[in-house]
């Protein structure tokens, strides 16, 4: 295991990025100035826009005040990020991502499933009865006798809240809600059940099915497109349920919008993308409002990637890949991808060094290339992304492609999905080469370069993952476990049960 930094030099912070994104950050070096703190937070959080800091000042009952002197910070402070950007520019990709929630209609956007499910506030009469029931339980351990009406009210509100995160929650999600319910309202514990909430678990599953049926009858596309999966009926066009736990599988059109109005905005974006100087604010606004039309096309028609590039060119810009992933999953892709990748990198390198056999020799060849470049954070990221498939028993040779910068007509028509690294003409092409001095990097989908001029392989991998979600694509056949690992372990998307080889690797990383 890697040696942990001394607690005397580290700083633990609670950082409020936005209302639904609050993180614990550990800085390896204690900042001596406000500027130093800003730099470390910018790197840790992956923020690419100017910001200031406020902190909860204990002298004023923890009210927020501007941070101007590092000496004012208490131990383990709570900080709030205050963006200094007032309008989107080409360099504010993350600002656009974080502003999606306020710019996009509420019914077309949800947030990611929370780490800890919070039981909502019920109607006033229900809250009163639960409060009385909890007091009685605290006095003499008497459980509340539920009427049918009261149980209906509780389940209805819980179903509405669950749907605000997921249309199709899984077993672990229902268990989390049932557990949270009896923790907040112990009077609802069910005596005789093994965990105290087994009956609530069953009721929630039934109620969610009933809730979706009501939405389906009301014309909600997100659930109606999956209709027929149950009761032996024929599903529409054989379209599957959300495959990789997309939060918005197929949202309805926003109020006041129809297909014609959104098509007009789409055409406006196509023309805008032909200009030399883009109106980024217009593109971001129109991409938000046409999200439902785009999803409808991609889910129902499954167009070729080349056709999607022609119809939605803005979708293949870096800022909009990040924004689209946020619309679908409720997550900040770039910030979470690199934060977790960097957290695991030291442990990955230890595992690479300890691995034996043929895989171990390949991993050691990868590590040799970063021995003299340990200060380069992207070198470590690149090594991990090259070595991860090998640890999971997969062959990345058909996924990581290289060509020389002098090869103008390199044929990539046989590449279904991959990352192309362009290297100088005098570079060596040896197996498992990381090509840290690459000229540029590009993303290939269905034989076409869809995004190019990327800085490095880690950035390309992050964007490719976002495009897979945005375009509703399958994971690369040769690297299914690798991308599953990124989804479930790096980005915490999907249910918690993992394939044995992924669970085994996750356990080793946590040691």
Helix (H, G, I), strand (E, B) or coil at 286: helix
Query: What domains sit in the chain, N to C, each tagged with a CATH number?
Result: 11-84 (3.10.20.90), 124-238 (no CATH), 259-316 (no CATH), 333-510 (no CATH)
Q: How many residues does the chain have?
A: 511
User: What's the pLDDT score for residue 87?
Assistant: 35
User: What's the pLDDT score for residue 437?
Assistant: 80
CA geometry: angle 174, 176, 181, nearest 5 deg = 95
Report the distance separating Cα 405 and Cα 426, nearest Å: 10
CB burial of 275-309 (b: ≥16 within 10 Å; e: otherwise) equals: eeebebeebbbbbbbbbbbbbbbbbeeeeebeebb
- Per-position pLDDT tens, the chain of length 511: 444 444 446 788 898 887 667 888 888 777 888 888 888 887 777 666 677 888 898 888 888 888 888 888 888 899 988 876 533 333 333 434 434 433 444 444 556 778 789 999 999 989 999 999 999 999 998 999 888 899 999 999 999 999 888 888 888 889 999 999 999 999 999 988 889 999 999 999 999 988 888 887 777 766 666 554 443 444 444 444 445 555 556 777 877 888 999 999 999 999 999 998 888 889 999 999 999 999 989 988 889 999 999 999 999 999 999 999 988 888 889 999 999 999 999 999 999 999 999 999 999 999 988 887 767 888 999 999 999 999 999 999 889 998 887 766 667 788 899 999 988 877 766 677 888 888 889 999 999 999 998 989 999 999 999 999 999 898 998 999 999 999 999 998 877 788 899 999 999 998 8
Report the distance separating Cα 370 and Cα 368, nearest Å: 6
> Burial of 234 by CB count in 10 Å (0-12 exposed, 13-18 middle, 19+ buried)?
exposed
Which residues have C-beta within 8 Å of that of residue 394, sequence separation ≥ 6?
478, 479, 480, 481, 482
Name which of 38, 99, 473 is nearest 322 in CA terms: 99
User: What's the pLDDT score for residue 49?
Assistant: 65
Which residues have C-beta within 8 Å of that of residue 322, sequence separation ≥ 6?
93, 94, 96, 97, 332, 333, 334, 463, 466
User: What's the pLDDT score for residue 327?
Assistant: 87
Report the distance separating Cα 504 and Cα 324, nearest Å: 32
Extended strands (E) in 84-184:
none
Name which of 452, 439, 319 is nearest 48 in CA terms: 319
Report the distance separating Cα 325 and Cα 332, nearest Å: 8
User: What's the pLDDT score for residue 260?
Assistant: 92
User: What's the pLDDT score for residue 100?
Assistant: 40
């Amino acid at each position: 295991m890697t040696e942990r930094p001394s607690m005397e030099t580290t700083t633990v912070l609670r950082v409020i990025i936005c209302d639904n994104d609050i993180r614990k950050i550990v800085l390896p070096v204690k900042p001596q100035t406000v500027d130093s703190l800003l730099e470390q937070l910018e790197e840790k959080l992956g923020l690419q826009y100017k910001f200031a800091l406020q902190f909860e000042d204990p002298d004023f009952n923890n009210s927020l005040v501007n941070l101007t002197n590092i000496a004012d910070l208490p131990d383990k402070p709570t900080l709030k990020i205050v963006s200094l950007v007032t309008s989107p520019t080409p360099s504010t990709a993350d600002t656009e991502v974080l502003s999606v929630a306020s710019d996009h209609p509420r019914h077309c956007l949800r947030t990611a499933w929370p780490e800890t499910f919070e039981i909502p506030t019920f109607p006033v009469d229900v809250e009163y009865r639960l409060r009385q029931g909890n007091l009685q339980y605290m006095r003499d351990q008497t459980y509340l006798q539920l009427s049918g009406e009261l149980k209906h009210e509780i389940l209805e509100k819980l179903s509405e809240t669950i749907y605000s995160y997921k249309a199709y929650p899984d077993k672990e999600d229902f268990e989390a809600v049932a557990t949270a319910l009896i923790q907040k309202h112990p009077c609802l514990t069910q005596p005789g059940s093994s965990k105290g909430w087994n009956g609530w678990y069953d009721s929630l599953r039934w109620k969610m099915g009933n809730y979706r049926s009501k939405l389906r009858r009301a014309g909600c596309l997100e659930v109606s497109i999956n209709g027929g999966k149950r009761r032996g009926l024929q599903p529409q066009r054989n379209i599957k349920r959300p495959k990789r736990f997309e939060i918005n599988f197929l949202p309805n059109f926003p109020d006041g919008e129809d297909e014609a109005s959104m098509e007009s905005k789409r055409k406006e974006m196509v023309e805008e993308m032909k200009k030399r100087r883009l109106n980024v604010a217009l593109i971001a606004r129109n991409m938000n409002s046409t999200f439902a039309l785009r999803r409808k096309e991609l889910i129902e028609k499954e167009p070729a990637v080349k056709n999607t590039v022609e119809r939605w060119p803005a979708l293949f810009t870096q800022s909009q890949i990040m924004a689209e992933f946020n619309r679908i999953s409720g997550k900040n892709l770039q910030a979470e991808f690199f934060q977790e990748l960097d957290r695991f990198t030291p442990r990955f390198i230890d595992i690479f060094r300890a691995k034996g056999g043929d895989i171990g020799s390949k991993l050691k060849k990868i590590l040799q290339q970063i021995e003299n470049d340990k200060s380069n954070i992207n070198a470590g990221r690149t090594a991990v992304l090259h070595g991860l498939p090998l640890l999971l028993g997969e062959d990345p040779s058909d996924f990581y492609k290289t060509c020389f910068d002098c090869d103008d007509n390199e044929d990539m028509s046989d590449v279904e999905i991959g990352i192309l690294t362009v290297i100088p003409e005098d570079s060596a092409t040896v197996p498992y080469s990381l090509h840290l001095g690459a000229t540029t990097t590009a993303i290939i989908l269905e034989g076409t370069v869809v995004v190019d001029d990327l800085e490095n392989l880690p950035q390309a991998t992050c964007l490719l993952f976002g495009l897979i979600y945005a375009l509703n694509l399958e994971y690369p056949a040769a690297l299914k476990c690798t991308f599953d690992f990124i989804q479930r372990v790096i980005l915490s998307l999907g249910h918690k049960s993992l394939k044995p080889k992924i669970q085994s690797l996750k356990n080793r990383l946590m040691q």
